[in-house]
Amino acid sequence: MNCRIAQSLSLKIAAAALVSAAVALQAQTTPPAAPESQDAKMKWFREAKFGLFIHWGLYCIPAGEWKGQPIAGIGEWIMNRAKIPVKEYEQLASQFNPVKFDADAWAQMAQDAGMKYLVITSKHHDGFAMYHSQVSKYNIYDATPFHRDPLKELAAACARHGLKFGFYYSQSQDWHEPNGAGNNWDFPANPQKDFDQYLRSKAEPQVKELLTGYGPICLIWFDTPQMMNTPETKERGQRFIDIVKSLQPATLIDGRLGTAGDYVSMGDNRIPDAVVKGDWEVPATLNHTWGFKKDDTDWKTPADLTFKLVDIVSKGGNYLLNVGPTSEGVIPQASQDNLRAVGRWLKVNGEAIYGAGPTPFGDELGAPDNTRQDKNGKPVFVQATDWRCTTKPGKLYIHIFHWPSGSLELAKVNYKVSKAYFLADASHKALKLTQKGEHVSVALPDKAPGELATVVVLEHRGN
Ligand code: H79
């Protein structure tokens, strides 16, 4: 090669390398622009309605059994429930080699299920990081034969599939660290710990890693805010808020930081009885555990899952539904099948879910039974399950779960309904409709035309 050309070429390459290094550096140091308002920040979340939660960690190896004994309770708590010493639990890492893990297959499944966002455990209470952390060697890249960063692969796969990507991070409990909350079988009890030492040396720097190395993070899902949920300890939560805001101001913070986040997290598997205003989410399981347990095959049915999704949306919330992949890196087949069944329903009926608002009614949700009291002395709420209503401007979507004979009868309809049709009917053929004041009647065929739930659209004017 001509020497001058070679020289200028290598100069160009050097210049290009400098520019790309500068761009990379800029990406690291200049945070993306903050959303213009809280409404703008929440927009995708309010549209999404349905997300995939993934609990994956070392606990999927024992899968609910320790030294031949089944350990009761949720699978990811096995270290705590069986009081497994750190030195023993740590050894699971050397066995963790989930070679069947396929990030695109997981993202594809979430997409098939009609889910719009995915939230995965980057570190659960056991303290093991499921990504390549520089802060602690106790991570899937450095401490296992797998020697890959599955969260990096998943972030890329989600981007390819148009899914938003977020992290669960257990900020308070860390049973691997002497000063992390929760482990009192190897270490001193919580009040004797130097909790801020743990926060500053592990949790805070790891959250920084997660918000810099994995592209746009739609939300960060903190959990169990022990030692950071009182007025005196609020400052600890604020430090996490400051980190998130400085690195990715568009990232939402869930409701379990200990300090108010961007939305409310309901209790695990807790669906409220009535409409709740504001932004909220129900984290929920498909069986009775978050992390994989080989003996738990008590799966919720597609009909139940569809009902719960519609129920939650009709009350104004989001549904974050969990899978617990195995130690091979596979999402249990029953979980996949049941989620895909919901996805097929959503393919037809998604208009009534994504971006939909809550019911204007409320009586269809159920009523308290004043003759029976729960353990708090409150009347037991008896849920009704015949139908639910979701809304968009000019439209009521009536999701029918128990098919009535002859007609759908709705009282208290405060709108002038102009047309009724099945959402599944692309031709929008009008159903026979009569309205007398606030009473609306829609003639129905003998059998439900749809599976899982049939949606009748009522178009209206006014209000
Ligand atoms: O990540 C999932 C759970 O591991 C986590 N939140 C969801 C999203 C969670 N952490 N703590 N809790 C839920 C409450 C835990 C309650 C129990 Fe237990 C754990 C009941 C049985 C095992 C603690 C230990 C209370 C009794 C024994």
Spatial CA neighbour of 237 closest among 251, 225, 246, 249: 225
Q: Is the pLDDT of residue 16 over 50?
A: no
Nearest residue (CA) to ligand 1, atom 9? 224
Q: Ligand 1 centroid to 56 CA: how many Å?
A: 15
Q: Is the pLDDT of residue 32 over 70?
A: yes
Q: Ligand 1 centroid to 173 CA: how many Å?
A: 11
Task: Please give the pLDDT value at position 299.
Answer: 98
Task: Please give the pLDDT value at position 13.
Answer: 42
Q: Ligand 1 centroid to 460 CA: how many Å?
A: 45
Nearest residue (CA) to ligand 1, atom 22? 73
Q: Ligand 1 centroid to 128 CA: how many Å?
A: 17
What integer is the mean pLDDT of 21-45? 74
Spatial CA neighbour of 452 closest among 286, 339, 306: 306
Mutate to test the pocket of ligand 1, among 54, 175, 268 (most ligand atoms within 8 A of CB): 268
Task: Please give the pLDDT value at position 11.
Answer: 43
Task: Please give the pLDDT value at position 30.
Answer: 66
* Integer Cα distance of 30 and 137 in angstroms: 28
Task: Please give the pLDDT value at position 14.
Answer: 44
* Integer Cα distance of 193 and 233 in angstroms: 14
Q: Is the pLDDT of residue 17 over 70?
A: no
Mutate to test the pocket of ligand 1, among 58, 77, 120, 226 (most ligand atoms within 8 A of CB): 77
Q: Ligand 1 centroid to 413 CA: how many Å?
A: 42
* Integer Cα distance of 54 and 66 in angstroms: 22
Residue 153: pLDDT band (50, 70, 90) is very high
Q: Ligand 1 centroid to 72 CA: how many Å?
A: 12
Spatial CA neighbour of 173 closest among 241, 229, 218: 229
pTM to 2 decimals? 0.93
Write the pLDDT tens digit of every residue in 186-236: 999 999 999 999 999 999 999 999 999 999 999 999 999 999 999 999 999
Q: Is the pLDDT of residue 5 over 60?
A: no
By DSSP bridging, strand 164-169 and strand 219-221 are parallel
- From the CA of 55, give the closest atom in ligand 1: 1
Nearest residue (CA) to ligand 1, atom 11? 224
Write the pLDDT tens digit of every residue in 292-343: 999 999 999 999 999 999 999 999 999 999 999 999 999 999 999 999 999 9
- From the CA of 76, give the closest atom in ligand 1: 4
Task: Please give the pLDDT value at position 461.
Answer: 87
Q: Ligand 1 centroid to 408 CA: how many Å?
A: 42
Q: Ligand 1 centroid to 268 CA: how many Å?
A: 9
Helices 103-112 and 150-160, packing angle to 10 deg: 40
What percentage of the chain carries pLDDT values higher than 90?
91
Judging by beta carbons within 10 Å of its beta carbon (0-12, 13-18, 19+), is residue 24 exposed, middle or buried? exposed
Q: What is the CA radius of gyration of the chain?
A: 25
- From the CA of 170, give the closest atom in ligand 1: 1
Task: Please give the pLDDT value at position 29.
Answer: 56
Task: Please give the pLDDT value at position 400.
Answer: 98
Q: Ligand 1 centroid to 292 CA: how many Å?
A: 14
- From the CA of 283, give the closest atom in ligand 1: 8
Task: Please give the pLDDT value at position 33.
Answer: 85
Write the pLDDT tens digit of every residue in 170-188: 999 999 999 999 999 999 9
What integer is the mean pLDDT of 388-414? 97
Pocket of ligand 1 (CB under 6 A): 55, 73-74, 76-77, 223-224, 268, 283, 290
Write the pLDDT tens digit of every residue in 89-128: 999 999 999 999 999 999 999 999 999 999 999 999 999 9
Nearest residue (CA) to ligand 1, atom 1? 290
Mutate to test the pocket of ligand 1, among 55, 74, 81 (most ligand atoms within 8 A of CB): 74
What percentage of the chain carries pLDDT values higher than 70?
93
Task: Please give the pLDDT value at position 6.
Answer: 41
Q: Is the pLDDT of residue 405 over 80?
A: yes
Q: Ligand 1 centroid to 74 CA: how many Å?
A: 7
Task: Please give the pLDDT value at position 462.
Answer: 64
